[in-house]
A and B are shown apart, each in its own frame.
Chain A
Amino acid sequence: MMPKLNASNAVAALMCAALILLPVYSAATGNIFILTLFTRITIYALAAASLNLIMGYGGMMSFGHAAYLGIGGYAVGILAAEGIGSGFIQWPVALVVSALFALLIGALSLRTRGVYFIMITLAFAQMAYYVASALSRYGGDDGLTVYKRSDFAGLINLSDRNQFYYLCLACLFGGLYLIWRIVNSRFGLVVQGVRSNEQRMQAIGFHANRYRLVCFVIAGTICGLAGALLANNTDFVSPAVMYWTRSGDLMVMVILGGMGSLFGPVVGAIVYLLLEELLSQFTEFSGLILGPVLLLIVLFARGGIMGLLGRMRRG
């Protein structure tokens, strides 16, 4: 089946092309800053895409998703500090620990719904934040410097700007492809069905929470990967990555771009982080503008930017 030709798909295709060609532009113009900025954007886009899997498709409003960014990051940072520099060890550990943490949070928080679910996920993320702050051996409040980026035995050099960017982009596209497959699979339909009408899904024979929990763990794992990338990108990881405002940023990216739309979180991350960057050049109070923009989106474009584009036929 060919994807439908409409504005939102056109934007998604253009966006992917632009992201792929960005290093070429950067090299041609000597604009290194834009490459650094977009490396960060792709990492956050991956994190937002993973949040979209549970929030947009699964209807689980997790307000603690940044915890996995920190866990993935600390897995890399702590192993590096202990002299284990191989990415083949660091990254799987980052994924596994994120998955286990998601399993723990999910098993407890998915007993609740609505506001309570939001509060419990928030509480767990804050707990992770305070635990990281208390890790005096690994920098405590001040955070942990990663002196050497993950080593992939010469396969890829993460210290090379272009290679690292393409690695981040590959992770983003890989993550999006995985999410796309999941969303259309049996499993994905069940998760979306539970979002739509849990009682009905139970009545036709689905143990709803089991599916929600697995979905929650998948999303946490993908976000853990984003965390591992982020620690390598900034050569640093600190408790601040897990602070609740960062979880809020991720939620905003998803809502801004379009919940339950595959490319929505990518659009959201690009728009949000670009706006933040641009506005910070003019004013210290970028939130003064970002806030109203978000309000307008929520009030007038329920499906976010992608939803808005989707309604334009063949735009």
Chain B
Amino acid sequence: MAEPLLRVDSLVRRYGGIAATDNLSMEVIPGELHAIIGPNGAGKTTLISQLTGQVMPNSGTIYFAGRDVTSLPSYTRSRLGLARSFQITSLLKDFSAIDNVALAAQAHDGHSFRFWGNARKERHLRDTARAALERVGLGQRADIVVSQLSHGEQRELELAVALATKPQLLLLDEPMAGLGVTESARMVALLKELRKEVTIVLVEHDMEAVFALADRITVLVYGRVIACDVPDAIRKHEEVKRAYLGEQHAVTRHD
């Protein structure tokens, strides 16, 4: 097996008496789409936030591309090639769609202590941004202010922003959250394309999407990994069925 791109070792994060991440270990192999599922409150978002540095773990280690990144701030991890999308859309609301993406490109194009030239006229930043927008199907909406975009479009923009940082590993926190049936289908199609280029960790409630996309699935319950395997094995896994799939499957369908 190839050297893992991401390795999490005995990660612990407590909130008061509750361990949101409880001695969690997992690996992500280069090129795979690794889904993380689990009931509400299983600690999925907390895990993602620790991986990208918004939340610091109490103990444990995170290795990214062979390097210990546990104590690095989020902007440094982003520079190393770790990108995330947020479950609750987190964009620059008063900026246009293309400005959002161009800033992401700018962040990875040297320092930004440039005070004079007009950044909106820098051709290569705009081109990168436009390409990322085209990629997610927002090419026609580039100049619209984010607050004027629909929820579905904002989800797609989240993805475009993450892509513009040219990540090695893309952490997607429920990209399908709140999307309608057609929008979800579009997102799945998009992720199918993206997975050819970039390693993806996908946290998602939409089981159909997860089983359609994932190479491997990790199941979290109360901050612990109860199973990690290929989709077929997870489907048959007794403990997983009991903990999760049975009751959750019906409620998370979007129809």
Contact = CB atoms under 8 A, between A and B. Distances in A.
Interface of A: 181-182, 184-190, 192-193, 196-197, 199-208, 211, 214
A266 to B, nearest CB: 21
A214 B99 contact: no
Interface string B77-121: 011000110100011111100010001101110001111111110
A186 B119 contact: yes
A189 B106 contact: yes
B201 to A, nearest CB: 15
B225 to A, nearest CB: 25
B52 interface: yes
Contact of B92 (A181, A193, A205): A193
B54 A181 contact: no
B118 A206 contact: no
A203 B118 CA distance: 24
- Most chain B beta-carbon neighbours within 10 Å: one of A181, A185, A199: A185
Given A186-B115, A203-B90, 14 more contacts: A181-B115, A182-B115, A185-B116, A185-B119, A188-B115, A189-B99, A193-B92, A203-B52, A203-B75, A203-B83, A203-B86, A204-B161, A206-B112, A211-B112
Given A196-B92, A197-B90, A185 B117 contact: yes
Contacts of A201: 92, 103, 107
25 contacts: A185-B118, A186-B106, A186-B115, A186-B119, A189-B106, A189-B112, A193-B103, A196-B93, A196-B95, A200-B86, A202-B78, A203-B52, A203-B74, A203-B75, A203-B78, A203-B90, A204-B103, A204-B107, A204-B164, A205-B108, A205-B165, A206-B112, A207-B73, A207-B75, A211-B113
Contacts of A202: 54, 73-75, 78
**Main secondary structure on B side of the interface with A:** loop
Contacts of A189: 99, 103, 106, 112, 119-120
Given A189-B106, A202-B75, A205-B107, A184 B95 contact: no
A185 B165 CA distance: 19
Interface in B40-57: 52, 54
Contact of A203 (B84, B94, B106): B84
Interface in B120-155: 120, 122
Contacts of A181: 115-116
Given A184-B119, A185-B114, A206 B90 contact: no
B7 to A, nearest CB: 21
B90 A204 contact: no
A211 B108 CA distance: 15
B140 to A, nearest CB: 21
A237 B212 CA distance: 73
Nearest to A196: B92
A186 B73 CA distance: 22
A258 B90 CA distance: 26
A62 to B, nearest CB: 20
Nearest to B102: A189
Nearest to B122: A186
Nearest to B109: A186
Contacts of A192: 95
A187 B168 CA distance: 26
Interface in B154-175: 161, 164-165
Contact of B117 (A186, A190, A204): A186
A101 B113 CA distance: 21
B115 to A, nearest CB: 5
A187 B113 contact: yes
A192 B102 CA distance: 14
A190 B113 CA distance: 9
A200 B92 contact: yes
B54 A203 contact: yes
A200 B91 contact: yes
A301 B104 CA distance: 33
Contacts of B115: 181-182, 185-188
B235 to A, nearest CB: 33
A188 B106 CA distance: 12
A277 B78 CA distance: 53
Contacts of A196: 92-95
A184 B119 CA distance: 6
Contacts of B75: 202-203, 205-208
Contact of A187 (B86, B91, B114): B114
A187 B118 CA distance: 10
Contacts of B73: 202, 207
A163 to B, nearest CB: 29
A189 B74 CA distance: 19
A214 B92 contact: no
